Structure formats: C-alpha cells, structure tokens
Amino acid sequence: MVEILQYSFMQRAIVSGLIIGVICPMIGVFLVLRRMSMVGDSLSHVALAGVAAAFLTGTTPMAGSLVFTVAAALGIEKLRKSYGEYGEVAIAIILSGGIGLAVVLISLAHNVNIDLMGYLFGSLTTVLPQDLYLIIALGIFICITILYLFKSLFLIAFDEEGAKIAGVAVEKINIFFTILIAFTITISMRVVGILLVSSLMVIPVAAAIQLELSFKKTILYAIAFSLASVILGIIISFYWELAPGGTIVLLSVFILIMVLLFRSIKRRLQRKHSEA
C-alpha cells in the first residue's frame, strides 16, 4: 500500500475512489427504491457522447460529459412527465439517443487521439489534478445536498403521491436529483468507466438491501460495500494491470454473492432453530 502512495496518479485515483465510493451508493439507494436503476446506465451512455464532443471541440472531457449528462437528465424528467405512467420509456429514449450520438461523434473524431478504453472501463492514470479538484467539489456538493434533501427524497422514494400531499416539491426535487445523478456519473467515469459506473450505484445497494436493515443502516452498509470494492479494485488493478472499472464491479458482484450466501445460511439456521 505504501508503494502505491508514492505515485501522484495513484494518490489522485484513491482520493477520487473514496469520494466515488461514498456518493454512488448514496444516489443509488434512491434509484433502486424508485425502480429507476437504468437512469444511471442511460446517462452514462450520454456521457460518452459528451467525451467525444469534448475532443472534437478541444474542451476538457469532464466538462463535455457534465454538459451532456445534465442536458440528458433534464430531458429524462421532461419525457417522464409526457409519458406519465410509462415513464420508463423516457429512459430508453435517452439511452438509445445517447448511444447513437456517441457513435456518430466518435466516428467524426477518428483523427483525434482518444483514450476510448480508459473512458469506457476506467483508468488509474487519467485522473488529472484539475479533475481531482472538480471531483472533490462536486462530491462535497452531492453529499451535502443528499443530506439536506434526505427526508424529502425518502418520502418520494416510498410514496411520491403521498409526498406531494405532504407539501414536498416533488417535481423540482426530481429534476434536481436527476442532475445529481449526472454529476455523479461525470466524476466517476475517470476511475470506474462510463459503461460501469451505473453498476456501482446499484450493486452495493442491492447487497445492503439483502441484509434487511433499517433505511439508514442500509445506506451505511451500501457505502461500506462500495468503498471496499473501489479501494480493493484500485489496488488490484494497479498490481495486476487490470481495468479498474471492471475490477471494481466484479468485486461488488463478489460481495453481493457473499451477502446472499450469508443470508441463505442465516435463514437455514433460523429455520432449524425454530423447528428444534
């Protein structure tokens, strides 16, 4: 571990990983409860189009990704209102449009040197100092905002109509929350990768839910699982020269499997104890 910290790019990757490991499950728990897990996947494909557009225009990839994902987030909320109870159609539309736009822009940028694999699956060396500052700033902003809106987001997640009756500004909070998802994807793509960041929002939460704890404890366990996956994934990918995004997601899946096994064994023991 000491050897890793001797490299400045690894220092930036670990700091970024710690921030990502906290905010992804914080956002993800509300996505899972609202059955909107695919929103992250949809916006991540749009983020790829933003990266390609940034290379075409000579701007920074994170800026391009941020602009495109925020615009797509607003688009999802607008379409969800238009389709009403068929709101999931909005996610499919943005996902398809994002993929199509990304393919076209990448083909236009064929003469530009793009580290496409690094953006798709994550890279330890791509977190630049200016990127780290943005990741820290947006990470702190997302955490503070989630804590500030926690009660409202909780009410919306379990009963949107009831939240409206209780006086919660549901539409405004929904729009703002979707923008937070866009921010999360943008700051996570450097380490985890565009195509895999949505997995880090969902899998640790899915593992924590299996423990059948209180809502707040579920969030804490999801963060713990996420941090374990991210930090171990960064360390393993450094020594074995693997893609960090894929390594992190595989570790998340491994933790989920272990939790499922633990739950299964626990239930069997409880059943035997009750029968005795």
Rounded to an integer, the average pLDDT of 122-131 is 83
Residue 113 placed within a domain: yes
Residue 138: predicted pLDDT: 94
Residue 153 is assigned to a structural domain of this protein: yes
- The answer as to whether 249 is a domain residue is yes
Instruction: Report the percentage of the chain scoring pLDDT > 90.
Output: 51
Where is pLDDT greater, at 111 or 154? 154
CA distance 62 to 47: 9
Instruction: Tell me the pLDDT tens digit for each residue of 163-199.
Output: 999 889 998 998 899 999 999 999 998 889 888 899 9
85 has a pLDDT exceeding 70: no
pLDDT at residue 120, rounded to an integer: 82
Does residue 58 fall inside a structural domain? yes
Ranges 23-27, 126-130, 212-216: which has the least confidence: 126-130
Q: Is the pLDDT confidence value at 223 over 60? A: yes
Cβ 182 vs Cβ 70: under 8 Å: yes
Give pLDDT, residue 272. Answer: 80
What pLDDT does 7 receive?
Answer: 85
Contact 185, 47 (CB under 8 A): yes
Whether 209 is covered by a domain: the verdict is yes
Asked whether the beta carbons of 205 and 25 are under 8 A apart, the reply is yes
- State residue 200's pLDDT score: 93
Q: Residue 276: inside a domain, yes or no? A: no
Q: Which pLDDT score, from 0 to 100, does residue 86 have? A: 64
Q: CB–CB of 195/245 below 8 Å?
A: yes
Domains: count for the chain: 1
Q: At residue 232, does pLDDT exceed 90?
A: yes
Whether 131 is covered by a domain: the verdict is yes
For residue 71, give every residue at least 6 positions away whose Cβ sits within 8 Å of its Cβ, in sequence order, or none: 46
Q: Domain holding 224: CATH number?
A: 1.10.3470.10
What pLDDT score was predicted for residue 114?
A: 66
- pTM exceeds cut of 0.85: yes
* pLDDT over 80 at 83, yes or no: no
Query: Looking at residue 190, what is its pLDDT?
Result: 83
* Spatial distance between the Cα atoms of 254 and 245, rounded to a whole number of angstroms: 14
Q: What is the pLDDT of residue 234?
A: 93
pLDDT at 144 over 90: yes
State the sign of the Cα–Cα–Cα–Cα dihedral 12, 15, 18, 20.
negative
pLDDT at 2: 65
Identify the weakest region by mean pLDDT among 86-95, 150-159, 246-255.
86-95
Across 13-27, 35-49, 105-119, least confident range? 105-119
Q: Is the residue at 275 inside a domain?
A: no
Alpha-carbon distances, residue 104 vs 100, 109, 119, 121 (angstroms) = 6, 9, 17, 20
Query: Kindly report the CA angle at 42 between 37 and 47, in degrees rounded to 5?
Result: 130
Helix (H) or strand (E) holding 66: helix 61-83
* Percent above pLDDT 70 for the chain: 95
Q: Which domain holds residue 255?
A: 4-270
Choice between 58 and 173, residue whose per-residue pLDDT is larger: 173
